[in-house]
């Protein structure tokens, strides 16, 4: 399913947009009289997918060798409702999502950097990479939950 970086990025960009709809709908529902827990649930789902999208954007950025500004813009697009969709379209149209996962070292000197070697090692072990990302995302999610909601209570 995620044999290429563009497929993984597209799925997470769409998921992030869907969770914006869930969160916005929950806020409207609360304003119309629904219990506040709907925002807690919608916000929790959105927060988790936001972190997964950000992790995916960083992974794809390293694999595709995006400049730092492009990577930051990709992650930041999740802050604006639905902006991950036009971001994915722009990245696709400009060729920044083209290509495969870089599983082998090439003649490019950048392939000898420690983080490129580490990324290739994990990409050749996708279950391990997925587990590591899941643990990292869950850990960060729990830390943020303990810190409290954005803007305080």
- pLDDT tens track, the chain, 153 positions: 578 999 999 999 999 999 999 999 999 999 999 999 999 999 999 999 999 999 999 999 999 999 999 999 999 999 999 999 999 999 999 999 999 999 988 888 888 888 888 999 999 999 999 999 999 999 998 998 888 876 666
Q: Are 11 and 53 in contact (CB under 8 A)?
A: no
53's tokens = 């999208």
pLDDT at 80: 97
Which spans in 4-82 are helix H?
A: 5-31, 37-64, 68-76
CB atoms near residue 149 (< 10 Å): 13
Encode pLDDT of 84-106 as tens digits.
999 999 999 999 999 999 998 88
pLDDT at 98: 95
Give the pTM: 0.89
129's tokens = 């990479």
Q: Are 55 and 136 in contact (CB under 8 A)?
A: yes
Q: Is 5 exposed, middle or buried (0-12, 13-18, 19+ CB in 10 A)?
A: buried
Measured between alpha carbons, how far is 46 from 145 in angstroms, rounded to an integer?
13
pLDDT at 82: 98
The residue length of the chain stands at: 153
Q: Are 12 and 56 in contact (CB under 8 A)?
A: yes
């Amino acid at each position: 399913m995620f044999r290429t970086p563009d497929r993984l990025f597209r799925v997470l960009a769409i998921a992030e947009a869907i969770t914006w709809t869930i969160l916005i709908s929950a806020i409207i529902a609360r304003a119309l009289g629904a219990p506040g827990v709907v925002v807690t649930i919608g916000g929790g789902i959105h927060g988790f997918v936001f972190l997964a999208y950000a992790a995916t954007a960083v992974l794809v950025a390293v694999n595709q060798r995006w400049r730092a500004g492009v990577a930051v813009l990709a992650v930041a697009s999740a802050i604006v409702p639905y902006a991950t969709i036009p971001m994915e379209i722009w990245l696709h149209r400009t060729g920044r999502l083209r290509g495969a996962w870089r599983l082998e070292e090439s003649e490019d000197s950048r392939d000898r950097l420690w983080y490129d070697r580490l990324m290739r090692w994990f990409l050749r072990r996708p279950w391990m990479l997925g587990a590591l990302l899941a643990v990292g995302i869950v850990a960060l999610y729990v830390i943020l939950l303990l810190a409290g909601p954005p803007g305080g209570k």
